[in-house]
Structure 1
Amino acid sequence: MARRLFQDNPPEEADRILYPGCGAEAPFARAVESICREEGWPVPQGTAVESDPELFGRAKELKLRHVETCQADFLGPEMLRSEMAGPFDYVLGNPPYVPIEGLSEEEKARYRSDFEVAKGRFDLYLLFFERALSLLADGGRLAFVTPEKWEYVETARPLRKMVTSDRAHSLEGSPDGRAFYVEEINHVSEDAFPKLTAYPSVTTIRKVEEGAASEGETQIRRRDGSAGQAELPNGGESWAAAVRGKDLSGIETGLTLGDVTVRVSPGMATGADAVFVFDKEEVPESLVPEWTRPTVSGEELTEGGASDPKSVFACPYRIGGTLPAESELGAFGAWASQHRERLEERSCVQKGGKPWYAWHETPPMQDILRPKIVFKDIAKEPKFWAERTGEIIPRHTVYYLVPEEGVPFEKLLGYLNGPVAKEWMEAHCQRAANGFLRLQSRVLRKLPVPTIVSRERQGALAL
C-alpha cells in the first residue's frame, strides 16, 4: 500500500502524510520510513492519529523519526481546527470496521449531523473515508484498505457518489472537472486479515487538481488474479458489475424482478425457533392441524426444494394475518404457556411491545400463503425452487418471491435458474465467506426480467 501511494508520485521535501487510526504498532508509518530509506527519498512529515489511550501510548513509544503521534478522535471536530487539519499530500491507513450496532445513540446522532456519508446503517470506515478525503491537498493521494462491500452496498451509496461526482457536488471546490479520481481498486486475498472474513480491497484515490484534464478509467485488480480497467458509474450506483468486468447492459428490458413480483422478502423470524419449530413427526397433537404450518429452512432446501418440508411451525396467526387475543388461543395458548418465560425474554416483547406469544415478525399471510419461488439467502451459486402449494411459510434463512398475477410462474423460475440471471447475480450480489453470494431482496429486485415475462405481464395488466 505504501509503495502504491508513492507510485509515480514520490515524496518531496515538506510533503505531509497522515496516518488515521495508526494503532499501537503504526505499521504504515514504519513501512513509509523503510521505503523512503531504501529509495533515497525524503521522508514526508507524518501525523499519526489514535484515539485509544493505550494504543496511543504504545505508538508514541516507537519514536518514529518522521511522525508526530497525536491522541485525538479522527472523526471529531479537533481534526478540523489544529495542525492536524492538513492539507496532506498523502493519507495511508486501515480504518476501523465498526457497524452501526457498535455505536452509541449519541455517536450515531453526531455522525449523522457531521458527515454526508452517515446514512442508513453506516459503518465507521465510511466516515474515515470522508474525513480523510476532506484533508487531502490538491493532487494528494489516499490509500485505504477496507471491506470491498463499499463498492456496491446501498449504505455506501453516498461515498461512491462523493468520489465520482464533479466539484459542484463534492466536499469542496468549483464546478470544473472531478474532485476525486479513483485510481485503483485492488482486491487482496480474503485471508489477508486472520480470523476475519472481510473480503478486503485497497482503494487508491487522488484529489484532482482544479482545472486538470478529465481522468481515465479505474485500474481494477481482482482476487482471481485478473486485471483490467473500468469506468465506475457515478451518482452512487453500485460498482459491482464494472469492477467484476461484467457488461450486462444488453439484458435490460425496461422491467425488473421488483416490477413483476408482489413481494421479494426473507422468510419469517420468530425470535425463538427452538420453541416454535418442530420436526413434523414430533408436533404436539393438540396443535394439529389448526395451529401448525409447514416450514422450510435454507439448510433443508436441497435438490428436492420445498416439495417435502420436514419441519412445522407452531403458528398463532390466522389465514388473514391477524393474531388472536390471548383468550382465543385455546390449545395453542395451553401449549405456549409452557414456554412463556422464554418467549417473554425476546426483544420483540421486551422492546417492541408484542404479545408474548407473537412471532418476532408478523407474517404477511395473504402474500406468503401463495405459490412462490424460494431460495437460500446465502449460496455458492444462485438456485431457485418452486413452492407451488402456497402452504409453506419459509423460515428466515429462506427468501421467497411471489409473482404478480399474469406473470408466467414456470418461465420466471426457468429464467432465474438460467445463465443470464446467474451472471447478473454474480456481478451484483454482495460476497459472503468462502466466495458465497448474499441474495438480498434489495439487489434482486433490480434484476432485469426477460421479454417474454414482460410481455405476458403487460397482457395481464391490459385485461
Structure 2
Amino acid sequence: MLGEMLSSLTAIPAESVEHGEVFTRRWVVDLILDLAGYTPDRDLAPLTVVEPACGGGAFLAAMAARVSDSCRKHDRPLLDARRAVHAFDLLTSNVTASRRLVREVLVDEGWPLPEAREVATAWVRQGDYLLDPDVPDGVDFVVGNPPYVRLEDVPADRMLAYRAACPTMTGRSDLYVGFFEQGLRSLASGGVLAFICADRWMRNQYGRQLRELIAAGYSVDVTVNMHDVDAFERQVSAYPAVTVIRRAGQGEAVVVETRRGFGAQDAPGLAEAMSAPGLRPVPAAGVSSRYEVARLPHWFTGGESWPAGSPSRLALIEELNDRFPPLEDARTGTRVGIGVATGADSVFITTGADVEPRRLLPLSMVRDTTSGCHSWSGHYLVNPWDADGQLVDLAALPRLRAYYQRHSAVLRRRYVAGRRPEQWYRTIDKVDHSLVERPKLLFPDMKTTIHPVLDEGGFYPHHNLYYIVSDSWDLRVLGGLLLSGVAQAFVEAYAVRMRGGTLRFQAQYLRRIRVPRPEVISAADRAALTSAFDRRDTRAATRVALRVYGIEEFGEVIDGSALARGGGA
C-alpha cells in the first residue's frame, strides 16, 4: 500500500536534485567521520551507519576505506559488514556511480571482487530517504551532506508527503530540515548524527521546530562553522557548518569557528585542540590563525534562535545566560514592547490635524532619537482609542469623524478594517494609555549599534521604536548597561544582520539580553553607568558593565562589538 502511494508521487525533477547536490571534499568527509566517532579502531561491521543522500559517493568512499581497515583490525571477513552501511539516493546515475566507487575502493584495499561487488550492491539503494519504508531504525550513525533543494522545486504532492512525514519541515524550509529530523529520529540511544549543511536553520524561523526537537532529547556535541572554508568541490553560497548531535541528554558542547585558509593541513591540529580538557571561553583557549575552539558546559536550550558568533563569544554568552536573569523580568516589573502600528501612517500620524485636541497623542518617532537624547519632532497620533481601551464614539467627536471620513477610502482598504468593518477607523494596535506618562527607554528598530534613548514621559512610541519600562530600574542606569558592548554582544549573537551590517533591535532580541539584578549594582557603578549614558560614552559604559557582570578579563571577547566604537554611539 505504502509502496503504491510512493510510486504515485510526482518525482522531483532530476535537474533540481542535481542542482541541490554539493559534493564534499575528502578531507572534510574525514573530519566529519572523525568527529562522529566512525573510526577504524572501532569494530564497525556490526554497527549501522546511514548516508541519506549519497550523491557520487564522497562519504561512501571514506566509509568503505574505514570499514575495510576495521575488518582487518578486528579479524573479520568483509562480508560481515554487508549490512553495516545503508545509503540512499534518488537518482539512478548516483546509485550506479556510488556502487562502482565502493567496489573500487574495496578492491584497491585487497578484497576479492565478488565480495566487494556484493557489499557495494547491498550498501547502496535507490530511494527517497524521507519517505522510503525501508529506512532502518535504531542506527548508530547518520552522516552526510543532505541536499540543498528549495521547496518551490519540489512537486506539491511530494511536498505534502514530506511535511506529513517530517513535522519540523514548516514554512519555507529547505529539504535538509527533513533530513535532520528523519536522521535524528532514527538514531539508537547514544547514536550520532553528523551533517555538513547550511546553518540557517539554527537561527531562522523555519528551524524552530527542529531546534525544539533537538532540545527535547538530543545533545549538540560539536558545531564547526565553515562559512569561509573551501569545503566543497565547487563554490557555493551555503554558509555551511558541521553539526554533530547525539541521542542523549545534553552534555558539554565544543564550538569551532574556522577562518579563511583553513584546510586539510589544519584538521589534525583542530582535532587535538578539541580534545584538550577545560577549554576556557577566551580566544587563547584553542586558537590558531585559521580556527578558534571553545568548550561550553552545555548547549543553548529551547526553540528560540541559537546564537551566532565566535566560540569565545558564544561561551561568554552562555555563561551570562546561566548567571543572570533576562532583561524582561516580572520580578523587577521590566518589560519590552513595541510602539503602535497604524496600517496607514499617512492618515494617523500628523503634525496638526483638524480634530479635537484631546485626540492628538504626542508620538515619538525614530528621528526623535537620532542624537541620543529625546528631541520631539512635533508628531502626533490621531488617536481613536479611549483610556479604557475601547474605540471612541465618532458621533460624539464631529471633527475626528470628519477627519477619518475624508480618509475613509484609505482606512477601509486595510486588512484590519476588512476583518472588522465596523471598526474601520481603528489602528492595528490598541493604545495603552498607561504607557504615555511612564519613563521609557526607546530603541530604533534598525541600527548598526545598540542605541537606547530615554523618554522621560509624555509620549507614545511609533511602531519603528521598541521600548523598555520597569518598576525597579533607574532607566538611566539600565540605559548605561544597554549602551555597553555586553548588551551589543547579546544582540549581535541573536539578531538578524541586514546588508551593510545593520541589526534589527526587535523585542525578541532585546529580551535575550541578560542583566544583573538592579539592587546588586553598587552606588558607584550606578553613578558611573548613569554618567556614561548621559554622555553617550559607549567605552565607559562597557568598562563599567564588564565590572558589574564580573567579566573584566573578557574585555577582548566583546571588543569587536563596542570597545572599538569609542566615546560616541
TM-score interval (norm. to shorter): 0.5 to 0.7
Contact map agreement 1:258 1:264 (CA 8 A) in 2: no
What is the aligned counterpart of 1:400 among 446, 456, 467?
467
What is the aligned counterpart of 1:306 among 359, 374, 378?
374
2:218 pairs with 1:218: no
Match of 1:82 in 2: 134
Q: 1:262 to 1:118 in 2, by over 3 A?
A: farther
Match of 1:150 in 2: 202
The DSSP-based 3-state class of the residue aligned with 1:337 is helix
What is the aligned counterpart of 1:344 among 412, 418, 423?
412
Higher deviation after alignment, 358-367 or 85-94: 85-94
- 1:231-257: CA deviation from partner (whole Å, max 9, x where unpaired): 233653875389533425469466744
Q: 1:305 to 1:147 in 2, by over 3 A?
A: farther
Q: 1:220 to 1:395 in 2, by over 3 A?
A: same
Quick one: distance in 1 between partners of 2:419 and 2:258?
Answer: 44
TM (norm. structure 2) is 0.56
Match of 2:105 in 1: none
- 1:140-183: CA deviation from partner (whole Å, max 9, x where unpaired): 543142344626x7986764465466xxxx3xxxxxxxx65533
Quick one: distance in 1 between partners of 2:215 and 2:422?
Answer: 45
Contact map agreement 2:362 2:381 (CA 8 A) in 1: yes
Match of 1:417 in 2: 483
- 1:195-251: CA deviation from partner (whole Å, max 9, x where unpaired): xxx99452322546x9xx997642321679652123233653875389533425469
Higher strand share: 1
Q: 1:157 to 1:333 in 2, by over 3 A?
A: same
Match of 2:107 in 1: none
- Tell me how far 1:414 sits from its aligned partner: 2.0
What is the aligned counterpart of 1:449 among 506, 511, 515?
515
2:446 pairs with 1:378: yes
Quick one: distance in 1 between partners of 2:94 and 2:367?
Answer: 51
Larger Rg: 2
- Tell me how far 1:376 sits from its aligned partner: 1.8
Quick one: distance in 1 between partners of 2:366 and 2:52?
Answer: 46
Quick one: distance in 2 between partners of 1:399 and 1:199?
Answer: 32
What is the aligned counterpart of 2:224 among 162, 185, 200?
185
Quick one: distance in 1 between partners of 2:212 and 2:63?
Answer: 38
2:88 pairs with 1:47: yes
Match of 1:54 in 2: none
Aligned pairs, number:
397
Q: 1:374 to 1:92 in 2, by over 3 A?
A: same
Q: 1:334 to 1:98 in 2, by over 3 A?
A: farther
Match of 1:17 in 2: 51
Higher helix share: 2
Quick one: distance in 2 between partners of 1:201 and 1:312?
Answer: 48
Contact map agreement 1:261 1:401 (CA 8 A) in 2: no
- Tell me how far 1:359 sits from its aligned partner: 0.7
- Tell me the amino acid that sits aligned with residue 145 of structure 2: L
What is the aligned counterpart of 2:349 among 277, 285, 290?
277
Higher relative contact order (CA 8 A, sep 6+): 1
- Tell me the amino acid that sits aligned with residue 202 of structure 2: W
Question: Identical aligned pairs, as a percentage?
Answer: 19
Quick one: distance in 1 between partners of 2:367 and 2:226?
Answer: 30
Unaligned segments of structure 2, at least 5 residues:
1-23, 69-83, 99-123, 232-236, 261-289, 523-569
2:430 pairs with 1:430: no
- Tell me how far 1:302 sits from its aligned partner: 1.1
What is the aligned counterpart of 1:263 among 335, 358, 362?
335
Unaligned segments of structure 1, at least 5 residues:
20-27, 50-58, 171-178, 193-197, 457-463
Quick one: distance in 2 between partners of 1:307 and 1:206?
Answer: 51
Q: 1:139 to 1:455 in 2, by over 3 A?
A: closer
2:97 pairs with 1:65: yes
Match of 1:32 in 2: 58
The DSSP-based 3-state class of the residue aligned with 1:290 is helix
TM (norm. structure 1) is 0.67
